[in-house]
Every structure is written in structure tokens, then in C-alpha cells.
Chains A and B, each alone.
Chain A
């Protein structure tokens, strides 16, 4: 079945460092891909998405490119801030509506001032 694998955390970086969180997926079709972010004590928020190969999703300085050839959707940010400390979830959907979205296990990111 479909699955999402993302890098284990926690990831700890200094402020202004470059961030990469790796995500790879397995799917039978051509899924849509998502990154969600969860700040402490909150629910998940959609950070960005991409719906077809070579699409780049971007938001709040974060970017991820849908790479069909490597089945990847890595999250990147050029200069992280303390406020980016959160848990990040990679996810996929290959059907709409009532079909559930498949989530990765989450990567906790901590940014040191």
C-alpha cells in the first residue's frame, strides 16, 4: 500500500542554518504531496503542497519539489528561525474526498537562538 517515510528526528539547528527534511513516498498512482506543520500544543496546519511531478510548493520560506523519478518531496528552508521549531509531517493523497491522507511519522525540529 501507499506509504510515506521521513527522516527521524529530532533535528536541532542553529538560527539561520539551512534546513532539509527528507521525505520519500511509495504510491501506485500519481499522488498529491503535502507538508504539514504542528506547533506545540496545536493541531496540524498545511504548510505547502504539490500536485504533479516537478511542481514546487512554497510557503513562509519553505520549499519542496515533487520529484517523481526519485519519489521524493524534501522540505527545505534557506535560513531557519526559532519560530520554525515544530513537528513537520510529510503526507500523500492519491484519492480525493473520503480517502484518507497517508502521513509520515513526523520530524521534530528545534532551532537554537
Chain B
């Protein structure tokens, strides 16, 4: 069964810490995405990547960076965690090709709490 795996389900970090959220997919997908999900705000796109070493800002990139050194792995980095980054983080991947009927495959999410 194809999978998108996020390394942690729950994470508690202190304000000011550098935080790494890892996401790995086994579907050989070119495109990977990071969202955060907050009550009342829905899903908001942070960053995405359409190829190794390529990245694009989403709607809310401030305070975040990403790394994609290998095709299967897409990391989200909180350079200096703050309490307003407490959220559910969702990773997704999507295949390439000319067909836009392919949806995302999501990971199970990482619930990050910054104290």
C-alpha cells in the first residue's frame, strides 16, 4: 500500500527551538506539499516542491523553510519555533503527468505544540 509517512504524530517543543518535521513518500511522486490545519482556518499551504532541490512558497511561508535533498523526502523546518506555530501539520504528495484528476495522498499528520 502506498504511503506518505510523517515521522512524528505528536511533538512538543520549546519556544525558540529549531524544529524539523519529516515526511517520506514511497510512490516516486515528484510533488510534495506541507500544510497546516487550524480550527476555523482550514488547510493552509506553507510550501511545496515539484522536484528535488526545488521549492515554492505557499500562502503562509513566514517562519518556515523546507528542504528536499531526495525525491522521497520533504522536510519542514521551523527556524525558531513560536507558540503561534502550534498546529496540526500535514504532508501530502502528488504524481506528475498531464492528468489533473490525481489527488493528494496525505500523511497522518504531526500535531506540534510549542510551549
Query: Which A residues lie at the B interface, using CB under 8 A?
Result: 31-32, 34, 36, 41-46, 49, 51, 89, 91, 93-101, 103-106
Contact = CB atoms under 8 A, between A and B. Distances in A.
B106 A96 contact: no
Given A49-B103, A99-B100, A104-B42, A42 B108 contact: yes
A31 B100 CA distance: 8
Give the secondary structure class of A's interface.
loop
A1 to B, nearest CB: 12
A93 B42 CA distance: 17
Interface residues of B, number: 32
A11 B16 CA distance: 39
Contact of A97 (B9, B94, B103, B106): B94
Contact of B106 (A41, A45, A93, A105): A45
A101 B99 CA distance: 13
A71 to B, nearest CB: 17
Nearest to B110: A43
Contacts of A91: 103
Contacts of A100: 33, 45, 48, 58
A87 to B, nearest CB: 9
Interface of B: 4, 6, 9, 30-31, 33, 42-43, 45, 48, 50, 56, 58, 90, 92, 94-109, 111
A4 B95 CA distance: 22
B42 A32 contact: no
Nearest to B89: A43
Given A36-B106, A42-B109, A96-B98, 17 more contacts: A32-B103, A41-B111, A43-B6, A43-B108, A44-B106, A46-B105, A89-B43, A93-B102, A96-B102, A97-B95, A98-B31, A98-B48, A98-B50, A98-B56, A98-B94, A99-B100, A105-B42
